[in-house]
């Protein structure tokens, strides 16, 4: 069919390409293998473990999309279920990758704690809690808006817009915090690659995810309510929905690029395995702080992880974070 020409009855609106999903399924699978190996080799699953998880989900999503490329007509419930699952697997990953960025930023802050604009432990609890809300809204929005047989497509689109709006604020806030920290390190003449390389990679990743968010936001500002068998209605849909190349450039390619750059410049290569190890104020000497035992019961630790540190946080004795750092280096 002519590019952009809607196909009545197609779950994708158009007749999807059947070669591109194969490429991206294998590409993300290869990236997942690279991430898993590096997480094992550098012992950094806790810091960047979301990257192999997302790469696996992307690979599954595009594998299901390949099935849908040959079974794209809404002729059975099975076709619909596989289509919705492929959409969910692909679209739930970017917020998780954003959360992975906040893991890395917090880890960098732990390494040079004297110049952080926010205590390192607060990064994950603050941004993680926001991303939990984003992921919930995003997953519900994608599931509802992807189902053409549902009467809640418009609600799904609104939920997606709400999730993307929060993402914009969080991305810009994270970039501002990273920029302030980077500027302070530059003024202090800290030239460590353990700081500069992960930060630069983080900036690129934030820009990639931001561009992807803008693409999705513009998509949902247009008409996204699909009436599968109404050809005239399908022609009035947003061009972003009717032209498949938008999806492969601004979704697939950008997210694969993000996966690749974190594979090449994995922060586990640069940052110490132990987050208690940090730079002294001279910017050269590494100091290992004292690790205090966690006295919380198991259920409290699990609850703290599941709530991104918002609840049942480990209590710190002896003053604020910056006071402790100041005392350590007097």
Q: Which pLDDT tens digits describe the chain residue by residue (330 residues)? A: 456 688 888 989 999 999 999 999 999 999 999 999 999 999 999 899 999 999 999 999 999 999 999 999 988 899 999 999 999 999 999 999 999 999 999 999 999 998 999 888 888 778 888 888 888 898 888 888 877 766 788 888 899 999 999 999 999 999 999 999 999 999 999 989 999 999 999 999 999 999 999 999 998 887 777 777 777 777 888 888 889 999 999 999 999 999 999 999 999 999 998 888 888 887 778 887 665 665 667 666 556 555 555 555 666 544 445 444 544 444
- Residue 10: CB atoms within 10 A of its CB come to 20
Q: What single-letter DSSP state applies at residue 112? A: S
Residues 6+ apart with CB under 8 A from 315: none
Q: What is the pTM of this model?
A: 0.87
Closest CA to 67 of 54, 56, 80: 80
The distance from CA 271 to its chain's CA centroid, rounded to whole angstroms, is 21
Record the tokens describing residue 236, joined without a space: 């009035």
Which residues are registered as beta bridge partners of 286?
279
Output the pLDDT for position 231: 76
The distance from CA 87 to its chain's CA centroid, rounded to whole angstroms, is 16
Output the pLDDT for position 309: 56
């Amino acid at each position: 069919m002519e590019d952009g020409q809607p196909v009545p009855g197609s779950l994708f609106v158009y007749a999807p390409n059947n070669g591109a999903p194969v490429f991206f399924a294998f590409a993300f699978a290869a990236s997942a293998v690279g991430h898993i190996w590096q997480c094992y080799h550098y012992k950094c699953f806790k810091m960047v473990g979301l990257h192999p998880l997302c790469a696996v989900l992307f690979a599954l999503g595009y594998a299901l999309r390949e099935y849908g490329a040959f079974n794209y007509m809404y002729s059975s419930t099975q076709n619909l279920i596989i289509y919705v699952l492929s959409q969910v697997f692909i679209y739930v990953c970017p917020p998780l990758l954003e959360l992975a960025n906040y893991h890395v930023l917090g880890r960098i802050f732990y390494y040079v704690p004297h110049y952080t604009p926010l205590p390192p432990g607060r990064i994950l609890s603050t941004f993680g809690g926001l991303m939990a809300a984003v992921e919930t809204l995003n997953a519900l929005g994608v599931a509802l808006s992807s189902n053409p047989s549902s009467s809640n497509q418009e609600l799904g689109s609104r939920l997606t817009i709400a999730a993307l709006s929060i993402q914009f604020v969080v991305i810009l806030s994270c970039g501002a915090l990273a920029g302030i920290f980077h500027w302070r390190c530059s003024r202090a003449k800290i030239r460590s690659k353990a700081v500069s390389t992960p930060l630069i990679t983080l900036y690129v990743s934030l820009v990639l995810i931001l561009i992807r968010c803008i693409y999705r936001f513009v998509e949902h500002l247009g008409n996204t309510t699909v009436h599968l068998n109404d050809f005239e209605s399908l022609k009035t849909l947003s061009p972003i929905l009717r032209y498949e190349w938008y999806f492969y450039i601004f979704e697939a390619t950008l997210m694969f690029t993000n996966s690749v750059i974190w594979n090449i410049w994995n922060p586990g290569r640069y940052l110490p395995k132990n987050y208690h190890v940090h730079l002294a104020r001279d910017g050269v000497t590494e100091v290992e702080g004292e690790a205090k035992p966690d006295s919380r019961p198991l259920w409290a630790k699990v609850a703290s992880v599941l709530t991104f540190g918002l609840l049942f946080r480990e209590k710190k004795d002896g003053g604020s974070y910056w006071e402790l750092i100041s005392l350590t280096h007097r």
